[in-house]
Structure 1
Amino acid sequence: MHTLIELYDERPMENVLSTEMFRPEETVFICPTRIAVDRELRAKLKEYFRHRGVDAKLTFLGTSLLDAEKVADCLRRAVAQHPDCAVDISGGTDAALFAAGMVCSEQDLPAFTFSRRQSKFFEIRNAPFARDLPCSIHLDVESCFLMAGGALREGRVDNAILKDYFDVIDPFFDIYLKHRRGWTQAVSYLQRASQAQQGETGECALSAEADVRMKGEHGSVLDAPEALLQDLAAIGMIRDLDVRGGRVRFAFRDAQIRKWLRDVGSVLEIKVYKDCVETGVFDDVVTSAIVDWAGEQQQNGVSNEIDVMATHGVLPVFISCKTCDVRTEALNELAVLRDRFGGLTARAAIVTAESGGAAMRKRASELDIDVIDLHDIQDGALKERLASLAWARDAR
């Protein structure tokens, strides 16, 4: 096979896997005319293959994928120009698949498909190279966005340094569980105690000092979380803790710890990240993954943050972490991201430090989103539940 003929699909994964797996000299896309003339989209596909290390020559032939006769005519022209070809019928519209079957039959062409649920290629006819062939591709998180025309941007966390903190994440999370009920108020206190501290270089200083009791927002009162501070000092996340004379003084261990202790949700996110890594089943794990939908870093462009994202083979996993009750809007957003950048078999999960009500669970079930809740966490099942996400859901 020198040439691969692809039936263009709105699901990005269907358009790229076979080219990377079989490395043809040329890939010909039978696609809607609007795609064939879209230079920006074609450039993004080429960028994806460059990222994957695939030297791919891409050709786009435009037609209506809703008209089987037009698709068949387009296929016949492609086959005439590329007689040593094979047809991938993993994607495409019903009309395109019907036309491909007709042309493959009349011209005795090799044809094969890919099952995302089984992560295998299968021979349809005359394609022994694809017979019961396990997919050996291992995607990284960035690839999932690139193939869909998006891009991965740097988020709130430098993932490159996270392993340096693995020794403190579990003790930190245990402290969170111990003080969970007062966590939001405690973080508010830490924010106010350290908000005005700036070093000579313009960076936030590590020292913090405040009254034991101070005013919060809207006339509320914030009391120093002394027990929490003592626990944090015991594991080295803060130093030089001094509570006397109505004042609290301490220093954060470093700038990264300072960020985590000033953000309500970070503790759950980094715990989920660490447990995903330590399952050993994921090829790539990223926390605070910012997806730029258009991949152009425009000031007013659409972007979303995914708390934790992982990949297993060609399966993307989208995870949202909530230290509070899960709202319907959060479930809807997660489902949209999964379907746009993951496709039919991608997994999505909500990890919540609450029990989760019946209404939320019902909506999550409707959207095919797994719920990992406080009971799973307290029972020590978090890592096991995360590992179970590495296998595809049945395509809907």
Structure 2
Amino acid sequence: MVVVFEFLSREPIENVITAMNFQVDRLVFFGNHEDIIFQKEKTENFLRKYCAVQSIIFLPLSGSNLQSVLQTMRKEIESELSKNAKLFFDITGGESLMLVAFGMLSREYETPMHMYDIYKGKLLELNSESLHYDERNTEAINKDNRNADDSALASPNEKQHLSISSIATKRPVPMTLDKLIEMHGGVINYKLQKDIKDVPDEESREDILKIRKVMKLHSEHWNPFSEFLRENMNPDEEGRVYRKESTVLKALADSSNKLKSAHKFYQIMEDLARAGAILDLKHSEGKYQFRFKNKAIKGYLWDGGSILELYSFLQEKGHSDECRVGVHLDWDGVLEGPSGIDVLNEIDVLSLQGYIPSFISCKSGKLSPQQCLHALYELDTVANRFGGKYAKKRLVVTSEINEVYQERALEMGIELKVE
């Protein structure tokens, strides 16, 4: 039986990464009482659901009394060794006092220690001779070990010289965005996914890239233009729009209209026609008419921020294991709970590379100081809640933001990117 002793970290990935890579029969977590209360249920649920861990226990330790820590841990070590278990220490994310205790007990019981480099997804095995990444063919080692004479593992002290990679069966559990959010106690609400937040084929991809170029040319006016289209250019069932020019000009002159410029409206429409996003554009004899290329493009143009989100998604997708756009995150992991009220956040782009998530917020147009602060704090809150300390955070904008907010973003660990 493979038994792993480890710290109960406040970072969920640190608690499950060994079991996501090796078949572990029993996990013994040591941590402070408050962390156990907060982490126990979601950690246990994840390990049973995805990692097939048979037994999971949580033991509180003193945060200041080393002798008490050693006494509690020594008792558990003796208990497991009496059952001839193959025992390993995982020190990923450990705190100072527990690290000292694990180090002392590892030497006393000749118990192998290991940790994971979460960023690289690499196992780091520690022993008295070396500190190295394990990049060996563990399948071959496991096969040799299974064929070995059982007597070679009979002595607890002899077996403890072996590493976890040579004893435990390699059984990787791929990380996914759904597992990541579930690991942090939330869930992705797919019912709220919008149709326009899909890129089903290469033609859609090309359309997005072409419209994005038009948006970039008119970035300052793009959101007002989009709003004007949505409020004044409703198409028929075939996607065609017919208007009298006088009707268009009157709407543009309306005090509630933010575009304020007929010339700018016509200019953006002509650029979209050249990009192939709208077809049959005609402006003559007091009439104005055109046709949206398809329903998806109508959605892109009506929702001003969608093109920046979809463009960022396409950029991020190229170097991610998994990437999604317009992701709705439910905070408590229960959709439509007893109260009927869900705490939700939408993240514009969410991606995963190995074990590292990236949370990307996209804001088009010129942002006011209040909008800047809101965007930064919202992104920081969501990323910390569902990604922890390993999450990458990026704010994508179409216009430079004030230097004060650039410095604030830097302090919060948020990368700024102008598209």
- Shorter-chain TM-score tier: 0.7 to 0.9
Q: Tell whether the 8 Å contact from 1:212 to 1:223 is kept in structure 2 after alignment.
A: no
2:199 to 159, 162, 165: 162
- Aligned in 2, Cα 1:65/1:331: closer, same or farther, shift over 3 Å? farther
* Structure 2 match to 1:171: 210
**In the aligned structure 1, how far is the partner of 2:301 from the partner of 2:62?**
53
What TM-score, normalized to structure 2?
A: 0.75
**In the aligned structure 2, how far is the partner of 1:330 from the partner of 1:303?**
16
* Structure 2 match to 1:72: 70
Identity of aligned residues (%): 23
**In the aligned structure 2, how far is the partner of 1:177 from the partner of 1:265?**
12
Alpha-carbon shift at residue 160 of structure 1 (Å):
8.6
Alpha-carbon shift at residue 223 of structure 1 (Å):
5.5
Q: Tell whether the 8 Å contact from 1:316 to 1:342 is kept in structure 2 after alignment.
A: yes
2:221 to 182, 195, 200: 182
1:54 equivalent in alignment to 2:51: yes
- Aligned in 2, Cα 1:96/1:369: closer, same or farther, shift over 3 Å? same
* Structure 1 match to 2:362: 321
**In the aligned structure 2, how far is the partner of 1:186 from the partner of 1:110?**
64
* Structure 2 match to 1:389: none
1:106 to 81, 105, 108: 108
Report the residue type matching 1:128 in the other structure.
S
CA RMSD of aligned residues (A): 3.2
Report the residue type matching 2:176 in the other structure.
D
Q: 1:183-198 alignment to 2 at 5 Å?
A: 183-194=222-233
Structure 1 gaps of 5+ residues are 200-204, 378-396
**In the aligned structure 1, how far is the partner of 2:359 from the partner of 2:240?**
36
Q: 1:328-367 alignment to 2 at 5 Å?
A: 328-367=373-412
1:151 to 149, 163, 187: 187
* Structure 2 match to 1:393: none
Q: 1:296-311 alignment to 2 at 5 Å?
A: 296-297=334-335, 298=337, 299-311=340-352
Structure 2 gaps of 5+ residues are 128-160
Report the residue type matching 1:149 in the other structure.
G
Q: Tell whether the 8 Å contact from 1:137 to 1:314 is kept in structure 2 after alignment.
A: no
Pair member with larger Rg: 2
Q: Tell whether the 8 Å contact from 1:157 to 1:287 is kept in structure 2 after alignment.
A: no
Alpha-carbon shift at residue 82 of structure 1 (Å):
2.6
Alpha-carbon shift at residue 234 of structure 1 (Å):
3.6
Q: 1:14-29 alignment to 2 at 5 Å?
A: 14-29=14-29
Q: For residues 277-327 of structure 1, what are the alpha-carbon distances to aligned partners after superposition, in whole Å with 9 as ceiling and x for unaligned?
A: 23xx21011111222121112443322111112111111111111113450
* Structure 1 match to 2:304: 264
- Aligned in 2, Cα 1:216/1:8: closer, same or farther, shift over 3 Å? farther
Report the residue type matching 1:109 in the other structure.
T
Name the SS for the 2:19 alignment partner: helix
Report the residue type matching 2:362 in the other structure.
C
2:163 to 124, 128, 147: 128
Alpha-carbon shift at residue 47 of structure 1 (Å):
4.9
The range that moved more, 169-178 or 214-223, is 214-223
Alpha-carbon shift at residue 23 of structure 1 (Å):
1.9
1:63 equivalent in alignment to 2:57: no
Report the residue type matching 2:99 in the other structure.
L
* Structure 1 match to 2:155: none
* Structure 2 match to 1:90: 92
1:249 equivalent in alignment to 2:255: no
**In the aligned structure 1, how far is the partner of 2:289 from the partner of 2:26?**
66
* Structure 2 match to 1:391: none
Q: Tell whether the 8 Å contact from 1:348 to 1:368 is kept in structure 2 after alignment.
A: yes
Q: Tell whether the 8 Å contact from 1:331 to 1:364 is kept in structure 2 after alignment.
A: yes
Name the SS for the 2:116 alignment partner: strand
The range that moved more, 214-223 or 322-331, is 214-223
Q: Tell whether the 8 Å contact from 1:138 to 1:283 is kept in structure 2 after alignment.
A: no
**In the aligned structure 1, how far is the partner of 2:48 from the partner of 2:242?**
51
Name the SS for the 1:23 alignment partner: coil
The range that moved more, 239-248 or 80-89, is 239-248
Report the residue type matching 1:302 in the other structure.
V
1:282 to 297, 305, 320: 320
The range that moved more, 69-78 or 24-33, is 69-78
The range that moved more, 6-15 or 217-226, is 217-226
The range that moved more, 283-292 or 332-341, is 332-341
